[in-house]
């Protein structure tokens, strides 16, 4: 399916402007997106996910204190030369891996006025094409492709597509929540309404928006006209709600994701991410699994 898709979507916008206060003091001088997940910073997984889905023009919407992200994706000649001189080709390859083969761009979100505002900062770069937004905190397991499915749904229906995941009711207040109707395709729903971070007793469903969106460019005009919402911030969820209700910029569909997603902005989830990805690694996995089995067996109840 992906091979036959007409390539109308080539740009990705990755939002990394958050302060990372849940990880203080680690994030006092280091962006939270640079925290390592095994041996790669979290943001590298996100950029690689975009590139793997064929989105090779990636704009990172950053904020203050995020210079380390730019440095990470740049070449580091000093380090490369030193490793070359030592003949350490394995580590050299790993350093070069991080200068991904995408066309990377950066823009700053001057005021932290919410996710909708961060997306609006990408308007000039994106232009009039549909584009993908990836939230830098959300890590989708590389073994469970999600963007490909969203791109396929977009190729068939146009409009916008959001990624959804069923979450326990007591978690829904942490997410944008969708009221949706089934379609004749498994795990593809039509979005009727959206609400940002509802209380559990008012949530229209248990379908949470996770951090992947494929947006019609009309979203920029809608965002410009969107008043601050929850938390006094301009919410992307509110703009999508307007679009779903009016249909003016095409339909809004949801893809219900049943794979593995990690919130690396949450400390407990971050630990789970590191363990989940480390046990599967060819190099570290066998030894780590062995140690983990013993460790778990000896854990006090
Ligand atoms: C943002 C969005 C929310 C979405 C969530 C996914 O919230 O506003 O709708 O469900 O990302 O991670 P945040 O987690 O930035 O507060």
Q: Taking CB atoms and a 6 Å cutoff, what residues make up the pocket around ligand 1? A: 115, 135, 138, 175-176, 196, 208-211, 235, 237
Alpha-carbon span 51 to 34, nearest angstrom: 18
Query: Which parts of the chain are beta strand (E)?
Result: 11-15, 36-37, 40-41, 57-62, 103-108, 131-135, 138-140, 160-166, 176-182, 188-196, 207-215, 252-256, 261-263
Helical ranges in 87-226 per DSSP H: 89-97, 115-120, 123-126, 147-157, 219-224
Atom from ligand 1 closest to the CA of residue 235: 8
Whether the CB-CB separation of 199 and 217 falls below 8 Å is answered with no
pLDDT at 3: 45
The residue whose CA is least distant from atom 1 of ligand 1 is 175
Residue 177, both tokens: 């929540």
DSSP states along 63-126: -TT-HHHHHHHS--HHHHHHHHHHT-HHHHHHHHHTS-SSEEEEEE-SS---HHHHHHTTHHHH
Task: Output the CA 210–ligand 1 centroid distance in Å.
Answer: 7
Q: Which atom of ligand 1 approaches the CA of 115 most closely?
A: 8
**Protein residue with least CA distance to atom 5, ligand 1:** 175
Q: What is the pLDDT of residue 2?
A: 45
Q: What are the φ/ψ torsions at residue 122 (nearest 5 degrees)?
A: -95, 0
How far away, in angstroms, is 257 Cα from ligand 1 center?
A: 16
Q: How far apart are CA 287 and CA 279, in angstroms?
A: 9
Distance of CA 15 from the midpoint of ligand 1 (Å)? 11
Mutate to test the pocket of ligand 1, among 19, 118, 135, 191 (most ligand atoms within 8 A of CB): 135
Query: Which of 166, 209, 254 to probe ligand 1 with, by most ligand atoms within 8 A of CB?
Result: 209
User: Mutate which of 174, 215, 244 to test ligand 1's pocket (most atoms within 8 Å of Cβ)?
Assistant: 174
pLDDT at 91: 84
Structure pTM? 0.92
Mean pLDDT of successive 10-residue stretches along the chain, which has 301 residues? 63 88 90 93 94 94 87 85 88 74 88 93 96 95 92 96 97 97 96 96 96 97 96 96 96 97 91 94 96 95 82
Confidence at residue 145, expressed as pLDDT on a 0 to 100 scale: 86
Res 164: pLDDT: 98
Distance of CA 258 from the midpoint of ligand 1 (Å): 18
Domain annotation for the chain: domains and CATH numbers: 2-280 (3.90.550.10)
Ligand 1: centre distance to CA 156 (Å): 26
**Ligand 1 centroid distance, CA of 284 (Å):** 32
Whole-number Å distance, alpha carbon 211 to ligand 1 midpoint, is 7
- What is the enclosing helix (H) or strand (E) of 48? helix 42-52
Rg (CA), the chain: 20
Residue owning the nearest CA to atom 15 of ligand 1: 115
Q: Residue 257 and residue 187: Cα distance in Å, rounded? A: 8
């Amino acid at each position: 399916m992906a091979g036959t898709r007409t390539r109308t979507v080539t740009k990705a916008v990755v939002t990394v402007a958050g302060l990372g206060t849940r990880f203080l003091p680690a994030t006092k001088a280091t962006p939270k997106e640079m925290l390592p997940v095994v041996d790669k910073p979290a943001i590298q997984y996100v950029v690689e996910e975009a590139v793997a889905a064929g989105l090779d023009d990636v704009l990172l919407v950053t904020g203050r204190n995020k210079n380390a992200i730019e440095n990470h994706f740049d070449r580091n000649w000093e380090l490369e030369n030193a490793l070359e001189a030592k003949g350490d080709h394995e580590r050299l390859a790993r350093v070069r891996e991080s200068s991904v083969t995408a066309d990377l761009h950066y823009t700053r979100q001057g005021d932290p006025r919410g996710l909708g505002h961060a997306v609006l900062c990408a308007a000039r770069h994106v232009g009039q094409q549909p584009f993908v937004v990836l939230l830098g905190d959300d890590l989708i397991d590389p073994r469970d492709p999600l963007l490909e499915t969203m791109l396929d749904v977009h190729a068939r229906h146009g409009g916008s597509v959001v990624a959804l995941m069923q979450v326990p009711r007591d978690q829904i207040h942490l997410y944008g929540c969708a009221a949706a109707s089934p379609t004749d395709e498994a795990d593809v729903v039509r979005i009727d309404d959206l609400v940002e971070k509802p209380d559990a007793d008012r949530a229209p469903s248990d379908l949470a928006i996770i951090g992947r969106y494929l947006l019609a460019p009309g979203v920029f005009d809608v965002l410009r006209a969107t008043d601050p919402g929850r938390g006094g911030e301009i919410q992307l969820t509110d703009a999508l709600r307007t679009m779903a209700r009016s249909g003016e910029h095409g339909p809004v569909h949801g893809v219900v994701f049943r794979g593995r997603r990690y919130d690396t902005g949450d400390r407990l989830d971050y630990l789970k991410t590191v363990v989940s990805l480390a046990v599967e690694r060819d190099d570290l996995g066998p030894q780590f699994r062995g140690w983990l089995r013993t460790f778990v067996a000896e854990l006090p109840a």
